[in-house]
């Protein structure tokens, strides 16, 4: 099972919107809605931001928006803030009854 | 608030056994969740190792199944990972996590384990 493909880095200015893609196959992202997104500040515990493609856990701002089209899931962060600077990774359930993660995207607020 | 904390030796010799423990606070490991291990080799992406449920059910990644064991110590509210016959390729930051419904709600901060002689 190959890792899901994410861009290595995405940057944006405060207040702007950015979108991070997560591309897999029909055996993972395309085949299930069990796609999650996590925010990770290195050295700290990852934080769940989006689950089941579009759902937000309580406490996660509605600036974070998830979507999916075919084999590609996306995370959009609108109204970018300095505190959003982190590594974001996606994950998906797979047809092998396992989980696969994305390669990770470093978001920089410039 | 649920908190998880990994602990264990930071250095393991090649062909040896990697053992890590995840201490859980704020939730009982006997509750209806899946308790997972995930790792991240240096400079690489995350890899799911497997998950275990207090009922005794375990699911391991096929590539690691022959070397992995996950277990519970209910008296200490912790769960453990054991990985045998380690090589340098097993060097990674190891995370424990609490999950259900195909997502992970809480994670530990991770523990670096280096395989080296």
* B59 → closest Cβ in A3, A97, A103: A97
Pick the residue of B5, B34, B45 with the most A CBs within 10 A to test the interface with A by mutation: B45
What pLDDT score was predicted for residue A1?
Answer: 72
Between chains, do B110 and A51 touch, taking CB under 8 Å as contact?
no
B77 token code pair: 């509210």
* B45 → closest Cβ in A34, A47, A104: A104
Between chains, do A102 and B45 touch, taking CB under 8 Å as contact?
yes
* Residues in chain A with pLDDT values less than 50: none
Q: How far is B108 from chain A (nearest CA, A)?
A: 5
* Chain centroid, CA A92 distance in Å: 10
All residues of chain B having their beta carbon less than 8 Å from the beta carbon of residue A32 are 102
Q: How far apart are CA B83 and CA B116, in angstroms?
A: 15
What pLDDT score was predicted for residue B116?
Answer: 97
What are the DSSP calls for B69-92, one per residue? EEEEETTTTEEEEEE-S--GGG-E
Q: In this structure, how many other beta carbons lie within 10 angstroms of the beta carbon of residue A8?
A: 8
What are the DSSP calls for A23-77, one per residue? E--TTTTTT-S-EEEEEE-TTS--EEEEBTTTB--TTS-TTEEEEEETTEEEEEE
All residues of chain B having their beta carbon less than 8 Å from the beta carbon of residue A102 are 45
* B48 → closest Cβ in A43, A101, A102: A101
* Residues in chain B with pLDDT values less than 50: none
Measuring CA to CA, which residue among B103, B61, B69, B81 is closest to residue B20?
B81
Q: Residues with Cβ < 8 Å from B56, sequence gap 6 or more?
A: none
């Amino acid at each position: 099972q190959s890792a899901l493909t994410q861009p290595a880095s995405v940057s944006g200015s405060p207040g702007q919107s950015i979108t991070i893609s997560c591309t897999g196959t029909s055996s993972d992202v395309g085949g299930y809605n069990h796609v999650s997104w996590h925010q990770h500040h290195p050295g700290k515990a990852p934080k769940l931001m989006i689950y089941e493609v579009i759902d937000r856990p309580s406490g996660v701002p509605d600036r974070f928006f998830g979507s999916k089209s075919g084999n590609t899931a996306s995370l959009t962060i609108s109204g970018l803030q300095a505190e959003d600077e982190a590594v974001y990774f996606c994950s998906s359930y797979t047809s092998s009854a396992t989980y696969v993660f994305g390669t990770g995207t470093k978001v920089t607020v410039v | 608030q649920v908190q998880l904390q990994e602990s264990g030796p930071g250095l393991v010799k090649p062909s040896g056994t990697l053992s890590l423990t995840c201490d859980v606070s704020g939730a009982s490991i006997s509750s209806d969740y899946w308790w997972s291990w995930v790792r991240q080799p240096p400079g690489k992406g995350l890899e799911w190792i497997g998950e275990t449920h207090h009922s005794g059910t375990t699911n391991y990644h096929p590539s690691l199944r022959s070397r992995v064991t996950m277990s519970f110590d209910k008296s200490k509210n912790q769960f453990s990972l054991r990985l045998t016959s380690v090589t340098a390729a097993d060097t990674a930051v190891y995370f424990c996590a609490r999950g259900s419904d195909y997502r992970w709600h809480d994670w530990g901060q991770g523990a670096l384990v280096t395989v080296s002689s």
